[in-house]
Chains A and B, each alone.
Chain A
Amino acid sequence: MNLWLNKFVFGLFILGLSSCHIGKNFSKMKTNGEVALIPSSLLPLSDTIYKYRTVVNTYGKTISGILLLKPQDVDTLKATFVSTAGLKLFDMCILKDTFIVVYATPMLERFETLKTLATSINIASFWSASKYTNPRKGRYKNQDWNLYNYSGDYIVTTADGLILKYLYSKKLKEKFTVKYVLDNECPPTKIDIDYTRFDLTISLEKIID
């Protein structure tokens, strides 16, 4: 049953990915050349398995479950998503530059869908922090931002680190926004990912054992 729902939901993801309209433009951002700090991963390397209650909403459909994130080593983050009804939807290793799918439910075996999920997890968890290069500070809409070149695309974060935006390199079009609720220590207690160009939100809430 859930497989069928997933097929539908993630089919919509693909439709969303293929649709293009102009998003917010950050070209007005001016950088002053100051070097900002490169963020570090929000998931400290340890034996801990980080568990997040995860709700995916897209075009009026919802799917929920538990996302398990386990840093394997400095280069590898294991991500497993299990639906509330107990069905494993995907199991992948997220690396600095790519991702490896260990298992994906047949309905998810589409490159773009898996790439969307892997990219969201990668960036929202700052997993590839070492890829953030050429950091600069700038202002946009009366707010200070840190701007990072991210392999040709851009990441901007607010100075307090509570909001992150992922921008396509082309005309700096916004792809998605991440909002964090940070407790005193990492990892964040809440992460909300909101896609700009299509109807997709991914909400993660840390499960306290």
Chain B
Amino acid sequence: MIHKYFKYIIASIYIIGSAFVMQESPYTSMKEVETFKANMKKVSQATTSMKCDFVQEKTISFMKDKMISKGKLTYKKPDMLKFEYHTPFQYIMVLNKGKVIIKDNGTTSKFDANSNKLFKTINEMLLSTVQGNVFGTTDFSIVYKENESNYLLEMTPINDQLKSVMKGMKLYIDKKSYQVNTAEMIENSGDKTLFKYSNRQLNSVIPDNEFVVK
């Protein structure tokens, strides 16, 4: 009898314990905003290139499951960025010196990023979120928060064009490395897209032709 209840007790302790471990400590207002900005600037200046894996999680209100894509991200200062999706579908998106190149289902398309105001803003936003350098933006208002392990920047669009595209963005920045580890885009409908970055390699030599798509 005791044995019968004992396994339930152990299971309950395990579940409750896991819940505590998994729960992230709450975010409060950042105390040292200027110090944070200065440290971010230092790290950003010292970062000349970056390679990492990413996982994209799309949450849609009427779907139980998230739509998950995985790939590799490559960045080279000042303005070269590549999102290379590997699963479930092959897809490449490159920002290269003001040009946007997309390889989709075997077809390559090239555009001028500066030809459209909204497009230019999104281009700059993508680069900023990877660099973590968003403080100079006039497109968003930013609320600075922190918890034990992360800084959190809650970004709300100010201009009407961006407002029509999204409700806001959240950037989660690791307190030790000052690198963005998660970026979340919230659409006006409430649907979300989460980018989680991992296996980061900083300042390796990346040739420019890495950002050429054929």
Q: Do A and B come from the same complex? A: yes
**Which A residues have a C-beta under 8 Å from some C-beta of B?**
1-5, 7-8, 49, 53, 55, 57, 60-64, 66, 68, 70, 78, 80, 82, 84-88, 91, 102-103, 105-106, 207, 209
> B60 at interface (Cβ–Cβ under 8 A)?
yes
Q: How far is the CB of B115 from chain A (nearest CB, A)?
A: 8
A7-B89 contact given A88-B189, A103-B189, CB 8 Å threshold: no
- Bound CA–CA A60/B123 (angstroms): 23
Are the CB atoms of B56 and A86 closer together than 8 Å?
yes
Q: How far is the CB of B62 from chain A (nearest CB, A)?
A: 6
Residue ID in chain B nearest A80 by CB atoms: B60
- Bound CA–CA A87/B58 (angstroms): 9
A1-B69 contact given A106-B161, A106-B164, CB 8 Å threshold: no
Interface hits, B177-210 → A, CB 8 Å: 185, 187-189, 191, 193
> B107 at interface (Cβ–Cβ under 8 A)?
yes
Count CB-based A-B contacts (< 8 Å). Answer: 94
Q: How far is the CB of B189 from chain A (nearest CB, A)?
A: 6
A-B residue pairs in contact (CB < 8 Å), sample of 8: A4-B119, A5-B102, A5-B109, A57-B105, A61-B109, A70-B62, A84-B91, A105-B165
Q: How far is the CB of A83 from chain B (nearest CB, A)?
A: 9
Number of B interface residues at 8 Å Cβ cutoff, please give it. Answer: 40
- Bound CA–CA A209/B107 (angstroms): 26
B60 — which chain A residues lie within 8 A by C-beta? 68, 80, 82, 88
Are the CB atoms of B91 and A85 closer together than 8 Å?
yes
Q: How far is the CB of B95 from chain A (nearest CB, A)?
A: 7
> B211 at interface (Cβ–Cβ under 8 A)?
no
A106 — which chain B residues lie within 8 A by C-beta? 118, 161, 164-165
Are the CB atoms of A103 and B95 closer together than 8 Å?
no
> B122 at interface (Cβ–Cβ under 8 A)?
yes
Please give me the 4 A-B residue pairs with the lowest Cβ-Cβ distance, nearest first: A4-B119, A62-B107, A86-B193, A84-B91
A1-B193 contact given A49-B62, A85-B83, CB 8 Å threshold: no
> B75 at interface (Cβ–Cβ under 8 A)?
no
B93 — which chain A residues lie within 8 A by C-beta? 1-2, 85
- Bound CA–CA A183/B30 (angstroms): 57
A63 — which chain B residues lie within 8 A by C-beta? 104
Residue of A1, A61, A80, A209 near B100 (CB, 8 A) is: A1
